[in-house]
Structures are given as C-alpha cells and as structure tokens.
Amino acid sequence: MAWFTDRHLFCLAVLFYGSATVYSLFLWRKGFRRDDWVNYFLLAAGVALHTGSMFKRGLTLHSCPVNNLYEATTFLLWALGLASLVYGLLPKFKFICAFAAPVLFTVGVFALMPSLDVHGPKPEFSGALRSLHAATILQAYGAFGLAAVAAMMFLAQQHDLKVHKLRALLSFLPSIQRLEVITTRLVIVGFVLLTVGLVAGSQLPRKDGASYFADAKVIWSALLWLVYLEILVAHKFFGRPARRFALGVAIAFVFLLLTFGITNHFSVLHN
C-alpha cells in the first residue's frame, strides 16, 4: 500500500527489537541456563523488517540509503543486527542476541525522531571511492557495536564469578577468556575498517576551500580512531587488565552513539 512507507516498516522492526529486549530480561533472570530460540526469532523478525525498510528506501531514492542521519543510523543498526544473528547461530554465542537487542531498541527509538530524517538535494553515489568510504565507516561502527556487546557479556560473566554466583558456572555464555579474545578481534576489525574509511574519505573531491582535516566529522572520527588505538595498544602491549579493557570498549561505543549525530550536524563535508 502507498501509505505504508519504509519508516512504518522500521517502526515495526523497532517494536520487535523492543519485544526481544523485554524477553532478554527474562533470559538474564534465568541466567541463560537453557536453550531458548524465542529471543533469536524475535530479533530475526526485526532484522527482516529492517531489511525491508532499507530496501524500500533504497528503491525510492535509487541509491544506497545513507543520505542523512536517520538512514546512516538505521544502516549501522542493520549491520549490528545482522551480525548478531550470524553469531547467534554458533553454539557458544546463541545468547549474544539478548545483549544486542537493548542496543538495537534504544538506538532504533532515537533514530525514529522526525528531525533526523531530513532530505536536501539528492546526493550522488556513483563513485566507487565514496561507496568504499561510506561502507567501511558504517561497518566499522557495526564491529565496534558488536565488540561492546561482547564486552558487556564479559563484564557480566566476570561479575558473577567474582560474587561466586552458581549461574556463572551453569551459564551457556562463552568463557571470559573467549569473550576477551572476541572483543579484541572485533575491535581490531572495526579499527582497520575505520582506518580504510578515513583514508578513502581523504581522497574524495571537496568544494574549493573545504578542508578535510578541519571538518567536525573528520576530527571526531580521528578522535575515535585514537581512542580505539589507545584501547588496543594498552591492552595488547602494556597489559591493561581485561576488565578495564572491556569497560573501555563499552564506554567508547556509548561515546560513539551519543556524539555521532552532533558531529554529523556540524560537518560541512557531510551536509
């Protein structure tokens, strides 16, 4: 139906993310002591609707739907949700969806704010370099989001072990050693993607007088790059404790979510 827009589909997706979040609370309370696919299928339904929303928006614009803050945020969430579903099929990571659902729901509600979905002149997305820049940057955010989810799983496991809770021994969550490795690898992947995206962005054509390295979004991205570099180097080469490493990864992603829209608004190159 003509009145049923891509935003309606995304709104339905957020409702499923919210349902998965509510159900995740029951899984947390049970300590993840048994297999339960309900949460996985709730999240899968949300991602399916989310995919349909992006596909419908892309057909309307005749381009990749990353033209404003709403579209960029939904693309980031879609990458995070899809990756969570893939990891959720693995026996040791089937409950990662219970940690990803609150992130998808919270940011999804934020993305539905009407002020974020503003369209100016139709952008041009014909260049391969521009597509590489957009894709790698957004996939980097998705990797950082998954790393934050794994870091929260690590902190939950470590807390249970510290207070000698039996559910930590009976839990189906991966061991804290495996979660530490996964978090580290996801941060490395995100860091490499972010580096490639920044380099590709520096080669894009700009208006006369527009400085790449003076742009608010580029400065923010460089700061983000330095933050994750410090997190990795301190953990891998200077022996930063795993708990502080996990906290750093989680806090860095919260910083990314809270400041992404602000820097995008003040960016000359991205507006």
| Residue-wise pLDDT tens digits, 164-177 | 555 544 455 566 77
Give residue-wise pLDDT tens across range 97-142. Answer: 777 888 788 778 877 876 666 665 554 434 556 666 776 787 788 7
pLDDT the model gives residue 167:
53
Output the pTM of the full model.
Answer: 0.60
**What is the arithmetic mean of pLDDT over 224-230?**
94
Tell which CATH classification among 1.10.1060, 1.10.3470, 3.10.50, 1.20.120 matches the domain 1-117: 1.20.120
Better pLDDT: 22 or 45: 45
DSSP secondary structure, 63-88, as one string: S-S-SSHHHHHHHHHHHHHHHHHHHH
| Alpha helices, DSSP H, located in the chain | 6-30, 38-61, 69-88, 96-111, 128-162, 166-170, 176-202, 216-237, 242-266
Residue recorded with tokens 């470590």? 158
Residue, of 166 and 217, whose pLDDT is higher: 217
User: Is the Cα torsion angle 149, 230, 247, 70 positive or negative in sign?
Assistant: negative
